[in-house]
Structure 1
Amino acid sequence: MPILQKGANAPLATQTPVVRIQIGRGAIIGDIDVSAYVLGENGKVSGDPDMVFYGQRQSGDGSVLLDSASDTETVFALNLAATPARVQRIAFAATVPGAGADRPTFAKAASVALRIDGADPIVFPVPIEGAIETSMILGEIYRRAGAWKIRAVGQGFAGGLKPLAESFGIVIADDPAPPPAAPAPTSAPAPAPAVSLSKITLSKAQPKIDLTKKDGAFGEIKINLNWSAAPVKRGFFGGSRSIDLDLGCLYELRDGTKSGVQALGDMLGSFGSAPYIELSGDDRSGAVTEGEWLRVNGARWNDIKRLLLFAFIYEGAPNWAATDARITLHAPKSPPVEIRLEEGDSRKNMCAVALIENIGGEMRVSREVRYFSGHAEMDSAFNWGLRWVAGSKD
């Protein structure tokens, strides 16, 4: 396995490398933003779709996909054969959270590494000792004489994600954006909308948000549940067990149909037909870095009246604090909406996380984070009216 030093390069033996950004958090608290940039010869993007990050998980040309992200690893899947001839480099960067004089630098991290998986994995342990920067360009994949290579960069950058992205030519929207002015008559094409770096966290102080359709539809809506994979102890002699935390939802369609989507009982739903909601996989340990996903067919949003998202401790966790769980809703061309499962009741294994309602064709997301002893108690609290019996997973 080749191990690169800063400034070194190596050839890539595959057109479909997997790039892993691995960060030991150390003393850094909060989300570390990892991003990729599809660049031309001048080191700039050709447009905002060339930035891949938590709010835009795939490049416009489809060559770079943010495949998964956790607290310690972000994974990009690349298809270099799909890159247009104008693309000469793909850069990977990371930014620590915070603002002002108290913002941590990369010196506070335990470790940073860039790993390229392929026929012969390549690793670049990024030097961070004494680093004073809050952003860093970790490495880049670039063309040379018709072939692709990887270069270990490890270059610090002053400022946060916004100035870093702007250095690559990305147009960043101010947050919050001012209300749009009435358009003046013109024959010139409208400018492309700026990228929003906002990640909306619903809390007790801000419990609701309304999402508006883009281009007349929502597209594919993805809902992710992620949690800590660390085993938890079960008393003095019980050993330890990994947490099995399940994502699911209750749904009500416009025609009055009510039911649920969850792994328990193999009620996995369907994306292309009613209920237009589908559970993608069942992670029983939290070891899958991307967690669990619900997919909602936004093209059929008018057929859906409401959804109640829930998380359910199937086994392994004695309390909710041990899970460090959060649900994130991704709607196309909208900032991610995050809800953390806080203030849990260790006596109750069910959390109703969020209520998603169809309000006049738009989408209202309301934070609930209410805890119950099981499905039936939660159902009764939200007046769903379903009958529940005991079940299990194979």
Structure 2
Amino acid sequence: MQDMQQGENAPIAISRLRVEFKWSPVAGRGLEADVSAYLLTPSGKVRSDRDMVFYNQTDGGTGAVRFHAGDGGAFDVALNLVPDDVERIVFCLTIDEAQAKGHTLALIEDAAITVSDGAAGMMSFRPDLVGATEAAMIFGELYRRGGQWKFRAVGQGFNGGLAPLASSFGIDIAADDAPQQLPPVKSLQLAKLSMEEPDQSVTLTPDADGFGTIVITLNWSHGRNNYSTGAGAIDLDLGCLVEMQDGRKTAIQMLGGMTGAIDQPPFVMLSGDDRTGDIGETLEIDGNHWKEIKRLAVFCNIHDGVPDWRRTSGLALLTAPGQPPIEIQLADGRNDCRICGIVLLENDADLIKVTRLVGYFENQQRLDERLGWGMRWRTAPPK
């Protein structure tokens, strides 16, 4: 069996498989948890409440996903039956009455998600839950790229439990349902916002639980234009400049291994280094520490290959619990520039002001100068 790391993906060669959860509660705490699956369109949303599969609604996608009770809960998946407009199936675990009981994922031991052919296990992922403050998590997902299904180890947590998790997928959870049960669901459309105009801005307002985890994902067409191998292959690297309220400044980027941290300043972390564009590169921001951040400028860098922004078809997507997803297309850029400034997030009286940048620069220093960041830059010595 293949043991996967967070962000890692692997192809699925069979059409029928089982996705199974295993976990144990810390003794003496009375913790209860449930698992659920969501069938998502390319927009990252369900088509209706029927696309949420759990113990009280045991099948979805016209039989493509079926829930089975067990020690941790499991789902039988028939990939050949998945509707054409479904691109991803995400598998989640949520803690019951987390806020009322003060429970978090840190009270779960030996947690794992396993993908098998119904008999032998093919791959598994064990998220690190030590010290976790969230009450819900996406453990893994099946996703479709170019007709090929793959499994990805995700490990993305959500503060507040089921409600913000479901809301991020376009489902509204009623607040007054009986304890100890996953409540009924009703449709809620969080319309995707496409930022297309220069310097276009939108302000995000937190809900009662704060902003939660803010996720910025970058995808590009590395392979769709036959650029996946050999000379001319394009590899985009996601990164950002961060300025804290106390004046500290830093850059988060793969270069130099400066990947940041989510549980300590700057409360921003870069996950993985995708060289294909298939699963994308991801920045996570702990929105519960947003008050400590002054501003954040997200950029990407053409790491390998000749700068050719037209061929990348780069697309950035910003998502946060309870917020409309924000989409930013990387338009035709200057092919003598390796840096694209994508979006600027500013602390506006503890709200988040999101402004489209989509400007092209020779390097990070020129982006810094354009935004007045004021960091000191130097050329790395030759190796």
Shared fold (TM-score, shorter chain, > 0.5):
yes
Q: 1:306 to 1:15 in 2, by over 3 A?
A: same
Q: Which runs of 5+ in 2 are unaligned?
A: 1-11, 23-36, 61-71, 76-83, 97-113, 120-170, 179-183
- Secondary structure of residue in 2 paired with 1:15: strand
Normalising to structure 2: TM-score of the pair?
A: 0.57
- Structure 1 residue 232 displacement after superposition: 6.2
Q: 1:42 to 1:355 in 2, by over 3 A?
A: closer
Percent identical pairs in the alignment equals 33
- Secondary structure of residue in 1 paired with 2:321: coil
Mapped to 1, the partners of 2:38 and 2:189 lie a distance apart of 24
1:1-394 aligned at under 5 Å gives the runs 15=20, 36-38=51-53, 74-78=87-91, 118-119=116-117, 195-204=188-197, 207-230=200-223, 240-286=231-277, 289-391=278-380
Aligned to 1:180: none
- Structure 1 residue 309 displacement after superposition: 0.6
Mapped contact 1:251–1:259 kept (Cα < 8 A): yes
Mapped to 2, the partners of 1:393 and 1:20 lie a distance apart of 49
- Which is higher, the Rg of structure 1 or of structure 2? 1
Normalising to structure 1: TM-score of the pair?
A: 0.55
- Structure 1 residue 15 displacement after superposition: 2.5
Mapped to 1, the partners of 2:343 and 2:86 lie a distance apart of 26
Mapped contact 1:202–1:339 kept (Cα < 8 A): yes
Mapped to 2, the partners of 1:198 and 1:222 lie a distance apart of 17
Provide the alpha-carbon RMSD of the alignment: 4.7
Mapped to 2, the partners of 1:208 and 1:279 lie a distance apart of 24
Mapped to 2, the partners of 1:219 and 1:203 lie a distance apart of 26
Mapped to 2, the partners of 1:297 and 1:357 lie a distance apart of 14
Letter matched to residue 376 of structure 1: Q
- Secondary structure of residue in 2 paired with 1:321: helix
> Higher strand proportion, which one?
2
- Structure 1 residue 294 displacement after superposition: 0.7
Task: Tell me the alpha carbon deviations over residues 211-243 of structure 1, each in whole angstroms, 9 at most, x when there is no partner.
Answer: 000115111111111111227689xxx953431
Q: 1:75 to 1:341 in 2, by over 3 A?
A: same
- Structure 1 residue 83 displacement after superposition: 11
Mapped contact 1:349–1:371 kept (Cα < 8 A): yes
- Structure 1 residue 378 displacement after superposition: 1.0
Task: Tell me the alpha carbon deviations over residues 348-370 of structure 1, each in whole angstroms, 9 at most, x when there is no partner.
Answer: 11111111000001000000101
Q: 1:219 to 1:267 in 2, by over 3 A?
A: same
